[in-house]
Amino acid sequence: MLFKQRYRLLNVFWVILGLCTIIAIIGIIGLALLPSSEGTKITSMFTRNHVIQICVSFVFNVFFFYFTANYFFNFIAEKKKFFSYFKVAIVAIIACFAYHLILDYTVPTKKPGEYATRGLVLFNLLLNSSFALGVSLLVAYLTNLRDGQKQRKILEAQKMQLEVEKTQANFNFLKAQINPHFLHNTLNFLYAKSLPYSAELSEGILTLSDIMRYALSEGNAKDGKDPLQDEIEHVRNVIKISQLRFSNTLNVQFEVEGVVNGASIIPFVLITLVENAFKHGDLKNTSDPIIIKVKVMDNTGLSVTAHPVNIKLKSVETKKLYFYCRNRKKTGSKELSTGIGLDNIKKRLDLAYGNKYSFIVKDDPEFYTTELTIDEL
């Protein structure tokens, strides 16, 4: 029978040694206080056979408590039935009987006439082994009880921390949406007014209006997620409005691969990463464009194609999302960044996907890269 070690052998050794030392000191003091007689002389307790028995008994007790306490602890933790305890108890009692019988015959400390009757000896052995088993069971139960209380406290603390982080993430999310209704209505008004004057201006206002409309959407009420195709469309709108700002001179490569219909994602994650690239990237570098890749894969984890195009769709099973964004950093003066956006993304990903995602940020001297993998959409 194997068990998971809860009590280390070295720890059991030191505990047994400490108890034996205390018992020995009490015994010596008791003998010293009793009237001196031949039977109670302290020196009579330190014969060769007595010392051997003490040492062997110490080693036996260390291994006895090590095995029984560990077995009982595992049985309690795994909620085993009575039969499991009974088997260990029988084996332990047999080991005690064998140990005492062998020790008394090989290293006797009494003369033949001084031994008690066989029945009394067996009763004494049964009583001692049962008491030792009771101590092991009690220690295992109390340890299991204490471990359970500690685990509950840890889980409660984690739950409270999760609630705090969720509240903070929601607060940051709401703070980013201050007065979107007003802006959305104003943009619609400006779009209507600009139509007779400039097609490019009206197109920019309409695109910005679509961005605001997405910001107003509440998404899926059950899990707080939006369709992935809406998030990708929002990314395209961000690229489009940025191109209009710079007269279509930005060097951007955007690739979408896979069937995005039916997939969903928490909103504004991909958007924030793309906006970060536009904010801090060198947008007009002809040799190093901003590269944005979105790939929906099946559970085989197909590799991302290395040849980006504007939009590329393939039929793959909607299981896993891979997002990649890379930009060359600006030279000269740079905009200040608080890092709140990335921290907020990590918190929201933790809340939504737990350990089923990977988010990697590579901040090299010349390039800035973000990679997001979500195992289950």
pLDDT per residue over 48-77, tens digit each?
A: 777 888 888 889 889 999 999 999 988 888
At residue 200, the pLDDT reads 75
The β-bridge partners of 367 are 328
In what order do the strands lie in the sheet containing 252-257?
A: 252-257, 290-297, 320-328, 367-374, 357-363
At residue 39, the pLDDT reads 46
Q: How does residue 334 score in pLDDT terms, banded at 50, 70 and 90? A: low
- 307 to 291, 292, 311, 312, 375: CA distances (angstroms): 10, 11, 11, 10, 23
Q: How far apart are CA 307 and CA 293, in angstroms?
A: 10
At residue 43, the pLDDT reads 57
At residue 218, the pLDDT reads 52
Domains and CATH numbers, the chain: 9-158 (no CATH), 217-229+247-374 (3.30.565)
The β-bridge partners of 323 are 294, 372
Q: Is the pLDDT reported for residue 149 higher than 50?
A: yes
Residues 230 and 217: beta-carbon distance below 8 Å: yes
Q: How far apart are CA 259 and CA 296, in angstroms?
A: 6
HEC secondary structure over 135-155: HHHHHHHHHHHHHHHHHHHHH
> Residue 84, SS3?
helix
The conformational region for residue 41 under phi > 0 = left, psi -120 to 50 = alpha, else beta, is: beta
Q: How far apart are the first and last CA of the chain?
A: 43
Q: How far apart are CA 113 and CA 308, in angstroms?
A: 98
Top-confidence residue, 9 or 218: 9
* 143: nearest Cα among 11, 1, 18, 23: 11
Residues 244, 210, 219: CA angle, nearest 5 degrees: 140
Q: How far apart are CA 94 and CA 24, in angstroms?
A: 27
- Region 274-295: what's the mean pLDDT? 89
Phi and psi at 193, nearest 5°, equal -75, -30
- 377 to 4, 8, 71: CA distances (angstroms): 37, 44, 43
H helix or E strand, kind and range, residue 125: helix 118-175
At residue 2, the pLDDT reads 65
At residue 148, the pLDDT reads 87
Residues 363 and 342: beta-carbon distance below 8 Å: no
